[in-house]
Structure 1
Amino acid sequence: MVVDYRNVGIIAPALRKRYQWRHLVQLVVACVLVQLGQTRKSVSKRMQSLAPTELVALLEHASSENASPPGPHAPSVTVDESRALELAHEAVPLLAAGLADHFRRARAGQPLVHDAAMSHWLRAAMLRLASLYVLYGRPVQADGAHTLVANSTLPLREREWDLPVFDTPGFRFHGVRLLDPGTRLPTIECIDLARQTASELDLKEQQAFAQLESACDLFGSRGSEVYSALREFITRHPISSAAEQRRFLEAGNLQLAAPFLASCYEQVQPHHLVKGGLFRCATCGAPLIESTIDAHVSCTVRQCKAFESPVPRELARAVTLQDALIVKAHILVYWCGPGQDEIALYDTATTEPSGLDAALYPGRDRCDLSLDAEGTGIDVKSHANPFVLAASLNRSLGGLELYTTKVIAINDQALSRFPDYLDILRRECNRHDVEFTSVSALRRDLRARA
C-alpha cells in the first residue's frame, strides 16, 4: 500500500531513504479519505504540499462531513473483503507461531520486549492486524507486543477484536483462543497453528516430555509399560500427595521414576486457593477456581463436562491442604485436560461387561488408545476449531498411521461449541481412511461390543 500511494503521489518522497512523521500522517489520512469514497487521484491533489497539522485538519473536516445521517448518496467505507480475509488468514497462524516462540523464550528466562529481537512471526502478525484495522477504518488495537499478547486470551470474534472479518462466514478461525485466559499458556489450537507455521517448533520436545522419555528409558524393555502407567496416574491425579505417589511407585516397582513424577507437581500456591481453601472438581479432579458467579467455584479444564457449570462453594469437594500437591500448569493443560476423554474411553473399554483388550498410550503414545491387539488406534482430539484440526491431520496422523483401523474421537464439549464440527472435519480432512466420531458415541459403541 505504501509503494502504491508513493507511486500515485499521495506520499512524498522519502528523506535520505527514510520515511518520517509527515509520511505516516499522509498515509493514515489518505487511507481514511479513500475509504470514505474519494479516489486516490483526488486525494493526491488535495494533499500535496500540506503540512502534518493541515493534513490532520483535512481529516477532521472529512470526518465531520460524514458525521451526518447517511442519505442515498452518502459515501460509505468500502473494504476489499477478499483482501481482508486473506490478511486475517495470514495473521492468525503467524500470531500463533509468535506466541509459541515467546513462550519458549519465557521458559528460558527471556522477557517479552517490543524491540528488534522480538519474534519475527509476532511482528509479521502485528503488521497484518494493523493493516486490517486500517482497512476497516478502526483504531489499531494491535500496536504493541504486550497489547497483542493480552488480546490473544480473547476469542477471535469481532466484538472482542473490533475486526468485522473475524465474524465473516469465510473466516476459518472464528472463536479460537490462542492463549488460555487462566494460565496464559498457548492453547492446543495455538500449538497446532504454530507447528503448521514454523515446522521446527515441536512443543513435544518441551521439558516434561523429554524427562518422561528419559525416565522410561531407565526401565529398559518395560519402557512402554512405564510410560502408560505414569501418564495414566498423572491424568487421574491432578491433585495428589507425596504419600499417594509413593504408594503408586511401590505398587508398580517404579521407584526409578520418582524424580520425574515429583517434577510434574508443585506445592499448593496462593492462586490455587479460593477464600483460603483448595477445592477439587468432582468430574476431572482438577483444582477449582473462583467463578464469576458470586460464592461459586468452577473448573478450568475446557475438556471437562463441568467446565461451564459453576457449583456453589459450600457444595464443592474440599481438599486438605496439608501435603497436597498440584500438577504444574503445563501438565494440567496438555496432559490432564485432554486425558479426561482418553481415560474415560479406556475405562469404558476395560470395565465389565465390555472387557475389551485395550492399551492406554501404547508404544509410548503412538496413539491414545489401542484395541484388538493394537489393530485399532484411537486418538482423542479436543480442538475448538475443526479447520485447525483438519489442517493438522492433513499434515500428519502421527503414530495413528500404523494402525489398520484409525479413529479420531472429538471431545463432546468442543463439538457442542462449534456447529457442524464433524461435518466440517470430514469435509476438510483429505484422509478417507479415518473414522471421525464423538467421544460419547465411541463409548456407546464400545459398550455395545460386549
Structure 2
Amino acid sequence: MDFDDIRDWQGTAESLSEELQRKIEQLSLSVETPTVRVIRSWRSRKLLSQPKGQKFGFRQILEGLATLLLLQKGWTLVAIAQVLSSWNDTELEQQIIAGKDGGNIIESNDNQESSSFLKQKSKNNHNLAEDAVILLAQGILRQYECMVKGGEIVRQDDKLPPELHSAMCKLGRLYLEEGKCDRAACVHDVLERSRYPLDDNDGNNKWDLSIFRDSEFRLGNVNLIDFNLRVPTADCAETANMSGGFGEDNVIEHRLYSKLKSATEGLGRNKKDRAYTALRELIGRRSLIRQRELFNYLEDKNLTPLQKTVEEFFDRVPEVWLIDGHALQCAHCGTLMRPHPNRERYRDGYYCPIRQCSGRYPPQVKERLSPENGQLLVAKPQILVYWTAPAIDELAIFDEAKKYGLDTQLYPESDQCDIAISDRAIGIDAKSYRSPVLLALKLNRSIGGLISYHQRIVAITDELIEDYPDYISTVNSLLDKKSNIANLQIMSVSSVIKNIQEGKYAS
C-alpha cells in the first residue's frame, strides 16, 4: 500500500515538510512541497488537525497531501478546511490516490457538487466579510466622532450609526454561517473585540471567525481600534475609505492635521514650516510634559501665539494614572506609562500604552514625576496614536541622519514627508499600518508629498515585518506599477538606518 510505511510516523514541522516531499516524489504528484512556514500557517488555519505543541502524525501527512492537490484544483483554504474535517483517513487515502492517478481528487458527482457549492459559498462569504469590516470601520469612526464632539456614550439604540448597525448584522450572519452563536449582537462586545486583529493572530481568539483567518481574506490582519488607547487606528481610517463612499473629511487624523496646519499657517509663510516641525517634534518627543515646560518650549520657538491650540492636544494627567503618587515617564518613547493590574504580564504593575513602543521594549521608567512640582500634561489618545507613535520610527531615522552629518529635515515644508535628506534628493515616510493591503491601497491613491522627491522611500516598522515576513513583498505586489509610484522603495526602518550608516544617502 502507498501509505503503509508511514502509518506510525511522528515528527516536527520541519520533518513533516521533508516527509511530504518524499511522498510527493514517491507518488509522482505534480505539486510543490510546502515550506515549514506554510505548514505552520496551515495548522493555525485548521487545515492540519494536530494541536499546536504536539507532534505531527500520519493524519497530517494525508491532510498535507490532500491540501496540495485541492489547491492545485483551485479550491480555497476555507473550502479545504471544511471538507478535510469530514473525511476519515481511509477516505483521504482514496482521494490522494485518485489525484496520483491523474483523476479528480473529488470523484463522485455529489462531491463535485459539494466542491462547486463550497467554492461559491466561500466567495460569497469573503464578500460579506469584507463588507462587514468596511462598514464596521466606518461605524467606529462615526461613533467616535459623536463621542468627541458631543460627549455621548455608546448606546445600543436608534442613535447608533447605521454603518455600525449594518456591520453587526453582517457579522452576526457570518457567525451563523459558520455554525456558531451570534457574537455580534451587542455593540459593546463588538467594539471591545475591535481592539484585536481580525485574524486572531495574537492568540486571543476574540473574533473566532474562520473567514477572517483565511489566507485569501485580504483584511485579516486589520486592527480597527488601538488596544491601549481605545481610539480608531490608521487601519480603521483606510478601511473605512476602501469603498470610495466614505470621505476622509471625517477621519480623525485629517481633522487633527487640519487644526495644526491652520494654526501654523496663521504665522505667515516664513514661519509656518518651522512652527509645524517644532510642534510635531514636541509631540513626538515630549508627549508627557509639565505645563510650564510646554510654555517655555513655545516661547523658545517663538510659538506663543499657538499656545491655545497646542493646549487642546493635551489633557491633564488624571490621578488614576499615577503610581505611588507619581507619573511614570517611559524610558523609550517618553510618554505616560499606565498602571496595569495583571502582575503576571507586567511584573511592576505598569506598561507603555503605545503599541509601537511596548511591542519593541519591556516596560522601563525614565523618570518619576510628582504632580506637586507643577501641572503635568499628557497628549490626548488620538494624538498618541496618530503622531507620537509613528514618531518613534520617524525620529529614529532623523536622529541617525543627523548623527552621520547628513543635511536632513524633519517634516519639511509642513509635512511634505517625514524626513528629507539633501533637500529634494531623498524623501522618507515611515508607516506602521498593520495591514499591507491597506497600505498599498493608500499608496495607490496617492503618495502625498513624496512625489516631490527624486528618491522616494516608505519605511515599514520592523516589528510588523517580524510578525508578517511577507509584508514588504505583499505591498510591492499590490502597487500600481504604471503610476508615478513605480519607483517607490519599500523597506524596513532598520534598512533605512543601515543605509544611512553605510553612507548610501550621502550627497
Equivalence for 2:53: none
How far apart are 1:208 and its partner, in Å? 3.4
Structure 1: tracts of 5 or more residues without a match = 1-68
Shift of 1:390: 1.0
Match of 1:160 in 2: 206
Structure 2 unmatched ranges of 5 or more: 1-84, 92-109
CA pair 208-82 structure 1, distance change in 2 beyond 3 A: closer
Distance 1:272 1:190 in 2: 27
- Distance in 1 between residues matched to 2:228 and 2:319, nearest whole Å: 14
- SS where residue 219 of structure 1 aligns? coil
Q: Quickly say closer, same or farther: Cα 1:288–1:205, change in 2 above 3 A.
A: closer
Q: Does 1:208 align with 2:256?
A: yes
Residue of 424, 429, 433 corresponding to 2:487: 433
Pair 309,349 (structure 1): closer, same or farther in 2 beyond 3 Å: closer
Question: Could you say which residue in structure 2 is the equivalent of 1:230?
Answer: 279
Q: In the alignment, is residue 218 of structure 1 matched against residue 247 of structure 2? A: no
Q: Cα 1:167–1:227, aligned 2, differ >3 Å: closer, same or farther?
A: same
Tell me, yes or no, if structure 1 residue 330 matches structure 2 residue 382: yes
Query: What percentage of aligned pairs have identical amino acids?
Result: 30
Deviations 1:235-278 (A, max 9, x none): 11011112222322222222112222222222111343235432
Give me the whole-angstrom Cα distance separating, in 2, the residues matched to 1:310 and 1:273: 19
2:355 pairs with 1:302:
yes
| Conserved? CA contact 1:298–1:308, under 8 Å | no
* SS in structure 1 at match of 2:397: helix
**Aligned partner of 2:231: which letter?**
L
CA distance in 2, matches of 1:329, 1:380: 20
State the match for 1:180 in structure 2: 226
1:424 equivalent in alignment to 2:474 = yes
**Could you say which residue in structure 2 is the equivalent of 1:447?**
501
User: Alignment partner for residue 146 of structure 2, among 82, 105, 109?
Assistant: 105
**CA offset at residue 319 of structure 1?**
2.2
Check if 1:415 corresponds to 2:436: no
- Find the residue that maps to 1:378 and give its secondary structure: strand
| Residue 145 (structure 1) aligned with residue 194 (structure 2) | no
2:426 to 376, 385, 397: 376
Query: After superposition, what is the alpha-carbon deviation per residue over 1:375-405, rounded to whole angstroms, capped at 9, x for unaligned?
Result: 3211110111111111111122122222222
Cα distance change of structure 1 residues 93 and 247 upon mapping to structure 2, 3 Å threshold: same
1:220-369 equivalent positions in 2, closer than 5 A: 220-221=268-269, 222-291=271-340, 292=342, 293=345, 294-304=347-357, 306-307=358-359, 309-311=361-363, 317-321=367-371, 322-323=373-374, 324-351=376-403, 354-369=404-419
Shift of 1:445: 0.8
Aligned residue pairs, count:
376
Query: 1:230, 1:295 → 2: CA distance?
Result: 33
CA distance in 2, matches of 1:267, 1:208: 19
Distance, in Å, in 1 between the alignment partners of 2:401 and 2:430 is 14
- Worse-superposed segment, 209-218 or 382-391: 209-218
Equivalents in 2 of 1:256, 1:362: separation in Å? Answer: 21
Q: Which amino acid aligns with 2:319?
A: P
Corresponding residue SS for 2:263: helix
Task: Say which of 441, 444, 449 aligns to 1:399.
Answer: 449
- Determine if contact 2:325/2:370 at 8 Å carries over to the other structure: no
SS of the residue 2:328 aligns to: strand
Aligned partners of 1:168 and 1:70: how far apart in 2? 19
- The answer (yes or no) to whether the contact 2:228–2:355 under 8 Å persists in 1 is no
Query: Aligned equivalents of 1:282 and 1:381: distance in 2?
Result: 23
For the Cα contact (< 8 Å) 2:229–2:353, is it kept in 1?
no
**Kept in 1: contact 2:337–2:351 (CA 8 A):** yes
1:28 maps to which residue?
none
Q: Tell me how far apart the structure 1 counterparts of residues 378 and 162 of structure 2 sit (CA, whole Å).
A: 35
Q: TM-score, normalised by structure 2?
A: 0.69
Q: What SS does the corresponding residue of 2:378 show, helix, strand or coil?
A: strand
Counterpart residue identity of residue 149, structure 2: A
1:171-228 deviation per Cα after TM superposition (whole angstroms, max 9, x unaligned): 2222322111222200111111123244413325655333322321231121111111
Contact 1:215-1:256 within 8 A present in 2 as well: no
2:311 counterpart letter in structure 1: A
In the alignment, the residues of structure 2 paired with residue 107 and residue 194 of structure 1 have an alpha-carbon distance, to the nearest angstrom, of 18
TM norm structure 1: 0.77
CA change 1:378–1:309 in 2 (3 A) is: closer
Greater Cα shift, 76-85 or 254-263: 76-85
Aligned counterparts of 1:113 and 1:311: Cα–Cα separation in 2 = 35
Residues 125 and 412 (structure 1), Cα distance of their counterparts in 2 relative to 1, 3 Å cut = same
